[in-house]
Amino acid sequence: MTTPTIVLVGHGMVGQRFLEALADRGVTERARIVVLCEEPRPAYDRVQLTSYFSGKTPDDLSMVEAGFMERHGIELYVGDPAETIDREARTVTARSGRAFAYDTLVLATGSYPFVPPVPGKDAEGCFVYRTIEDLLAIEEYAKTARTGAVVGGGLLGLEAAGALKGLGLDTHVVEFAPRLMPVQVDEGGGAALLRTIEKMGLTVHTGTGTQEVVTADGAVTGMRLSDGSELATDMVVFSAGVRPRDQLARDCGLDVGERGGIAVDGLCRTSDPAVFAIGECALASDGRVYGLVAPGYEMAQTAAAAIADEEAGDGFTGADMSTKLKLLGVDVASFGDAHGTAEDCLDVVYSDSRSGVYKKLVVSADGVLLGGVLVGDAEQYGLLRPLTGTVPPVSPEQLVLPAGAGAPVALGPSALPDDAVICSCHNVTKHAIGQCTSLPEVKKCTKAGTGCGSCVKVIEKLLPAATDKGLCGCFSYTRSELYEIARTLRLTSFAALLDSHGREEARGGEGCEVCKPTVGSILASLAPTIGLGGYILDGEQASLQDTNDHFLANMQRNGSYSVVPRIPGGEITPDKLIVIGEVARDFGLYTKITGGQRIDLFGARVDQLPSIWTRLVDAGFESGHAYGKALRTVKSCVGQTWCRYGVQDSVKMAIQLELRYRGLRAPHKLKSAVSGCARECAEAQSKDFGIIATANGWNLYVGGNGGATPRHADLLAQDLSDAELIRLIDRFLMFYIRTADRLERTSTWLERLEGGLDHLRDVVVHDSLGLCEELEALMAAHVADYRDEWAETLDDPERLRRFVSFVNAPGAPDPSVRFVPERDQIKPDLTILTIGTLEGATSR
């Protein structure tokens, strides 16, 4: 008995899924499999194509598991596409001249980019956006370009626009339709998307087409649009849709649709029973060509089942066209009847033009969810899509209103029926996911979550081993989520946040030792923008602070406190040095010069702190915030002013930065340094944000840590002007404060951040999320609102009342705070084993 041969023409995402489906059914063990691939590499993730510009390599994008071809005996020929098909002889001839006889032929040739037939479309500087090779060519050409234009404002068009912007080009998008993404979103969603994208610095031209690509000496110099306007540009990327690649089928006489596509039946079989067609090249039996990967995967499974002689049921009769993606950092999703074409349907709409959020649900008169559009906030997509065609267990209004704006949404994955499809890419149901105990197991056993990834959050909530990521027993939200809630709803107290967003059992309570200081820090960070005063110990805020913040000083091991005045950049006058010496002498304090170029004064009793600070404030000193989760120091070398190697004034910059960010409350302490040249005497690369001078400006490094787990900082941007440097640091710090977890240093945060340094650069340098204006405004509010905490304390007798050792004996010192001499100074006396108290006095 001869071994049958299956020839697959095309090795894209759908082609690879077909091979996997054959392997799952054991077909690869009893048939010869030949694959003809046009591209120079095996199948890769075309959905994530743009991630190449974020640092992903072609190998990272590969869809082929290592050893898969060898393990299943599959013959793969890359860079050798099929050129002719002889159906009578049942052979396929490749470009190399190789001829392969087949028993079954599967066409997975995909689609090709449509390029409008305009003059100049083939000029130097014109590209399409379809393959890795296209991206490599775009990347190379962009090195000599300043402006780029994308023809097409659909899914791939906006991806291409994001890529050009990421390459540093001034970017234009030209879309013939009156709105962006006309297939997926409605007019309201398009308007919200347009506002957000324009805020990112892209220029959008809707309702106009390309009339001509203007050239000079054969290269692109501009575009002439159909509305009569002209656009100067150095390169043009066409992304105006795709067409089925059906030429092979046409040439060999297979039936094709009037508007293209290889006609197939429910089993994905063409007009020739020995030939199948799957993916974007196929015209399904419902008369549609599907351009999404999920229908292509379903076709691959259907064809594989038919070839393996399995019962295929109804076969492929159509597919869900729902989609969720992130374009230029903006969440966009549509599902079901997104445009409301059903008779007598109703719209439920929430729109916030200020934040770029638009949500529309389409429901029938009897409450059945028919579809929807989500722009700017697609968090609920994973739950809403499976509910399409049912009456949701809560009202549609609750499904679109943001948290805190209405009744709480009582809808979670548990509300979904067992047959709800959670992963549309691989058609995986809630019941199938429930048989697994971890996300890796789900991916391995069902492939759910390995496609577009939009279902992962819902999958995690369905898993029995899912962990509670809440901050503590009082809140089910993370620190970054609580930050956003407080900022958005302008909540100014811990009690208000706990009562509105705490766990049910914690509401009305007092919180715990985890959430109280965390929320205290959040409110301190947001104080200028949500209406709180700048003083950390006003009102309820005082009760949220730990001992150090409560007394504006660091408690030491024997119950005494340290005093650390700010010395910006390490620069100090002789007069101020004298004052520090006199204070240390008069109060008997231990003095130590720190690694951060400050002077610590140790051994102060709590009742002495106001007297010490009175003298320091009068001399021009202010709090160094050594006690707070805030900026500690900006260390510096002497720079070009004194050093013969210096190329910039590092001291001036260090002082400017320290004075700008002083008092900035963060999830953890912040340290910085400025080096005046590449010799790096200030050790800037071990700091949360470090600056190194170059002959052309400043290099900015972020995420360093010189602590217990040292980490070199990463280069974020280079050769920055003073203004550019400060603007990027503003954005970096506020983005960190906004998204980091409780007590998370920038080094740990950066390593945990999805996408790492590349994502951070996209956000704070290229403004991929459209947040930079807001981040800068938050920092500007902090700078404008800053007031020295010790100066404010000394001006208010009520605030001074807290600085006593004993509540009912305000003038009495704590007798347990004792010292012994060492090296002409003092050190704590640790021989005292019990804490003594004055008779009748109550210790704090």
List, as residue ranges, the binding site for siroheme.
681
Residue 625, both tokens? 């915030």
DSSP 287-352: S----SHHHHHHHHHHHHHHHTT---TT--------EEEEETTEEEEEEESTT--STT-EEEEEEE
Nearest to 34 by CA among 79, 97, 80, 100: 100
- CB-based contact 481:488 (threshold 8 Å): no
- Which residue do the tokens 């015209």 mark? 283
CA distances to 354, 580, 581, 620 from 588, in Å: 57, 12, 10, 21
Q: What is the 3-state secondary structure (H, E, C) of 382-428?
A: HHHHHHCCCCCCCCHHHHHCCCCCCCCCCCCHHHCCCCCEEECCCCE
Residue 205: helix, strand or coil by DSSP?
Answer: strand
Measured in whole angstroms, the distance separating CA 212 from the mean position of its chain's CA atoms is 38
For 748, other C-beta atoms within 10 Å of its C-beta total: 18
Residue ranges for the binding site for [4Fe-4S] cluster? 637, 643, 677, 681
Tokens encoding 537: 């110990």
Listed in sequence order, the residues at least 6 apart from 249 whose beta carbon sits closer than 8 Å to its beta carbon are: 85, 107, 256, 262, 270, 277, 281
Q: Which residues contact 602 (CB under 8 A, 6 or more apart)?
A: 556, 560, 562, 563, 589, 590, 591, 592
Q: What b/e string do you get for 582-600 counting C-beta neighbours within 10 Å, with b at 16 or more?
A: ebbeebebbbeebebbbbb
Q: Rounded to whole angstroms, how far apart are CA atoms 647 and 149?
A: 39
Q: Within a 10 A sphere around the Cβ of 773, how many other Cβ atoms?
A: 12
DSSP three-state, residue 783: helix
Question: Cβ atoms within 10 A of the Cβ of 243, count?
Answer: 17
Within 55-131, where are the H helices? 58-61, 68-71
Please name the residue that has the structure tokens 């509010």: 781
Residues annotated in the binding site, as ranges?
637, 643, 677, 681
Burial of 812 (0-12, 13-18, 19+ CB in 10 A): middle
